[in-house]
Amino acid sequence: MTNSRSEFSNADREAANRLIELALQEDLAGIGDLTCDALIGPADRAEVLVVAREAGIVAGLVIGELVFDQVDPLVGWVPEVPDGTLVQPGQIVARAAGPLSGILIGERTVLNFLSHLSGIASLTREFVDAVHGTAATILDTRKTLPGWRSLAKYAVRAGGGTNHRMGLFDGVLVKDNHIAAWSRLVGNSRLADAVRQARAGAPPGVSVEFEVDTLEQLRDVLDGQPDIVLLDNMTPDQLTRAVRLRNEIAPRVLLEASGGVTLGTVRTIAETGVERISIGALTHSARCFDLGFDFHHIG
């Protein structure tokens, strides 16, 4: 199963190349691979298979090509499946062929990227599958490793999830600290007024979202007609009541549940009727997906 929304953009490619350059600098430090220098000759060649050791979703396969472009462009890289594919243990996901030293130098960097991104995609797919049949969409957050956001969010898409805003620059999300600061500055605690001010100050077409943690706050915010309300750490009963309140006051406003969502709770949350569920764990707690390089031919 693949996800047509998981195209690897130019921004993703630029982010990957920056990270690859840093990764190779860590490994080689401008000196090189002392092990390959000692044991591998310049004429030695090989073909290796990148093999899944477990079932899951693969993501980031194009990064193999980008790594070897920097290590040794004579190494050819061929993905065997598209990103977003559910693979099984033992399945070949890509091949690399060319100078043996180049393959060995790039091996760990390739696996580090693919294992991390495939782990994110696999965890995302578990959450997406858990809410199948409901109206809820699974979204990521800004809880990403610095420098990795573009790639992490790409992996979420590959897993069937949807991206929340990319950063502070492309969406208004008013959280509790914003409200606390705004209230003290203007001497006004009416959240509906804050919604209207945020709307007036935001660029045209930019989504305006507000975070609340009580139903009283929700009622106030809905009066201002934001695009989305984030319901922070509410119980399923509170979420159900929030949906009813939204339906009565502002049916066009989307509701997003967030805070402590797990695979054990996400279905119950989705069944309350919220349209969105954002989960920081997709990108900050995904374990690495197990992949390996297996020699197919040497010589």
Q: How far apart are CA 139 and CA 121, in angstroms?
A: 12
- 53 as an active site residue: the answer is no
Catalytic residue among 65, 209, 211, 256: 211
Amino acid at 192: A
Catalytic residue among 18, 53, 175, 184: 175
- 175 as an active site residue: the answer is yes
Q: In the prediction, which pLDDT does 299 show?
A: 75
* Residue ranges for the chain with pLDDT beneath 70: 1-6
Q: Classify each residue of 19-38 as buried b or exposed e, where b means 16 or more C-beta atoms within 10 Å of its C-beta.
A: bbeebbeebeeeeebeebee
Catalytic residue among 69, 80, 227, 232: 232
- 153 as an active site residue: the answer is no
- 232 as an active site residue: the answer is yes
Write the CATH number of the domain with boundaries 131-284: 3.20.20.70
Domain ranges of the chain: 10-129+286-298, 131-284
Side-chain-side CA neighbours of residue 284 (13 Å): 11
Rounded to a whole number of angstroms, the distance between the first and last alpha carbons of the chain is: 36
Q: In the prediction, which pLDDT does 5 show?
A: 53
Catalytic residue among 53, 108, 184, 244: 108
Q: Identify the burial level of 90 via C-beta atoms within 10 angstroms of its C-beta, where 0-12 means exposed, 13-18 middle and 19 or more buried.
A: exposed
- 37 as an active site residue: the answer is no
Q: How far is CA 293 from CA 108, 137, 178, in A?
A: 9, 35, 48
Q: In the prediction, which pLDDT does 6 show?
A: 67
Q: Do domains 10-129+286-298 and 131-284 have the same CATH topology?
A: no
CATH class of 10-129+286-298: alpha beta
